Amino acid sequence: MIYVASPDLTGNEKAYVNECMDSTWISSSGHFITDFERRFADACGVKHAIATNNGTTALHLALAVMGIGPGDEVIVPVLTYIATANAVRYCGAEPVFVDVESDTMNMDPAQVRLAITERTKAIIPVDLYGHPSDINAINAIADEHGIAVLADSAEAHGAEVDGRRVGSLAFATAFSFFGNKILTTGEGGAVTTDDDDFAARLRLLRGQGMDPTRRYWFPEVGFNYRMTNIAAAIGVAQLERFDDILDRRDQIAKQYDSLLAELPGVTLPAQRAGMRRVNWLYTVTLDGVSAEQRDTIIRALDGEGIETRPVFHPLHHLPPYAHTTSYPEAERLGATGISLPTHLGLTEADITTVADSLAAQLV
């Protein structure tokens, strides 16, 4: 089987996890947590990183600390993993959807401008499949209206805009470190921010809101969204090889590019000027196919031992967010997009196999 994703644990991951086991610090106390937070913040070029138990809780924690609640609206791209919108619902607020750019698949700033109302409290751009959002445009709109930006960079560790990494570009940024991500901790997440007060409140509410100076005294309702020392130990080992991991993923993408460029009807991943795309899942669109045809191709590849993923269903098609507005770009991308295996365990031969199999499906 050629998996669509697979963690690479060939560095110090195992050694560090064994340090946790030997020290018996396996819960959410231990030096790897603070090490991971420090190293990840440094890698992003941001002041604070607050580790959480996954990317969904990172999003929720950030919105909760922003004070998002019932009656509020939060602008979300209609093409994203459902967690982005669910985090808004957890707060009792409503996600307001906007269509995406046809090339990057990310939130279209022009649509964001149109979606702002008096109730808009935040905007969540999502860096889909590794391509950064047009954060400068989105920050500008947010500033005009006094709205906060929470970036969702779950899929884009290391991506850059104007030479600065995601995690440092919005007021706050949420990350996921699930087993299929560029950097993994098994399950895990983080929120980054330059704001000291915001960071302090993220830390407080992550740990049930307990007053750090008074045992079992809880000034407010918090959460148990803590990352474990074991997860953080894995993350530290991953961060030691961060640049190398990004480079190897770039090489995989380059090989796909050269194998697929000549195929008729295949649109390769976008790469905007001034931005560094990272290659989480190498994702192409199959121009002119229907969702059914794309799904048939996915099943055929699966039959040949090649695991792939469809691009996400636009959220307005899913029951919890169903409504009849049309979002043409998201609908097209959601129907025709396919993510190909992208991980460090792939050989050049594997990538050729994937490309050949896809090509055979398209004739």
Ligand X SMILES: Cc1ncc(COP(=O)(O)O)c(CN[C@H]2[C@H](O)[C@H](O)[C@@H](OP(=O)(O)OP(=O)(O)OC[C@H]3O[C@@H](n4cnc5c(=O)[nH]c(N)nc54)[C@H](O)[C@@H]3O)O[C@@H]2C)c1O
Binding partner of residue 4 among ligand X, a copy of itself, none, CB cut-off 5 to 8 Å per kind: ligand X
Decide if 342 contacts 282 (C-beta within 8 A): yes
Among 16, 17, 41, 55, binds ligand X (CB under 6 A): 55
C-alpha radius of gyration, the chain, whole number: 20
Please report whether residue 86 would count as binding a copy of itself according to CB under 8 A.
yes
Least spacing, CB of residue 169 vs a copy of itself, in Å:
24
- Which lies closer to ligand X via its Cβ, residue 31 or residue 263? 31
- Cα distance between residue 138 and residue 130, in whole Å: 18
Binds ligand X by CB under 6 A, chosen from 2, 32, 51, 54: 54
Which range binds ligand X by CB under 6 A, 75-83, 161-169, 268-276, 282-290?
Answer: 75-83
Exactly one of 8, 12, 38, 81 binds ligand X (CB under 6 A); that residue is: 81
* 58 close to 83: Cβ distance less than 8 angstroms: no
Identify which range of 25-33, 137-145, 163-171, 281-289 contacts a copy of itself by CB under 8 A.
25-33
Given its phi and psi angles, is residue 140 left (phi above 0), alpha (psi -120 to 50 degrees) or beta? Answer: alpha
- In the complex, the smallest distance separating the C-beta of residue 197 from ligand X, rounded to whole angstroms, is 24
Task: Give the x-and-dash track for 5-24 against ligand X (CB under 6 A).
Answer: xxx----------------x
- The reply on whether position 56 binds ligand X by CB under 6 A is yes
* Interacting partner of 80 out of ligand X, a copy of itself, none (Cβ under 5 to 8 A depending on kind): ligand X
Judged by beta carbon, residue 45 or residue 242, the one nearer a copy of itself is 242
Separation between Cα atoms, residue 104 and residue 42, nearest integer Å: 27
Residue 56 interacting with a copy of itself (CB under 8 A): yes
Taking CB within 5 to 8 Å according to partner kind, which of ligand X, a copy of itself, none is near residue 12? none
Q: Which does 154 bind (CB under 5 to 8 A by kind): a copy of itself, ligand X, none?
A: ligand X
CB of 122 to a copy of itself, least distance (A): 18
- What mask of x and - would describe binding to ligand X in positions 169 to 208, judged by CB under 6 A? -------x-xxx--------x-------------------
Q: Which residues pair with 52 in a beta bridge?
A: 189
Residues 176-235 binding a copy of itself (CB under 8 A) are 178-180, 184, 186-187, 208-209, 215-224, 226, 228-231, 234
Task: Give the one entry of ligand X, a copy of itself, none that residue 226 binds, where binding means its C-beta sits below a cut-off of 5 to 8 angstroms depending on kind.
Answer: a copy of itself
Using H for helix, E for strand and C for coil, what is the string for the chain? CECCCCCCCCCCHHHHHHHHHHHCCCCCCCHHHHHHHHHHHHHHCCCEEEEECCHHHHHHHHHHHCCCCCCCEEEEECCCCCHHHHHHHHCCCEEEEECECCCCCCECHHHHHHHCCCCEEEECCECHHHCCCCHHHHHHHHHHHCCEEEEECCCCCCCEECCEECCCCCCEEEEECECCCCCCCECCEEEEECCHHHHHHHHHHHECCCCCCCCCCCCCCCCECCCCHHHHHHHHHHHHCHHHHHHHHHHHHHHHHHHHCCCCCEECCCCCCCEECCCCCEEEEECCCCHHHHHHHHHHHHHCCECCEECCCCHHHCHHHCCCCCCHHHHHHHHHEEEECCCCCCCHHHHHHHHHHHHHHHC
Q: Please give the residue ranges that form the binding site for ligand X (CB under 6 A).
A: 3-7, 24-27, 29, 54-56, 80-81, 83-84, 126, 152, 154-155, 176, 178-180, 189, 224, 307, 309
Q: Please give the residue ranges that form the binding site for a copy of itself (CB under 8 A).
A: 6-7, 9, 13-14, 17-18, 21-22, 24, 26-29, 53-57, 81-83, 86, 89-90, 92, 178-180, 184, 186-187, 208-209, 215-224, 226, 228-231, 234, 309-310, 312-313, 318-320
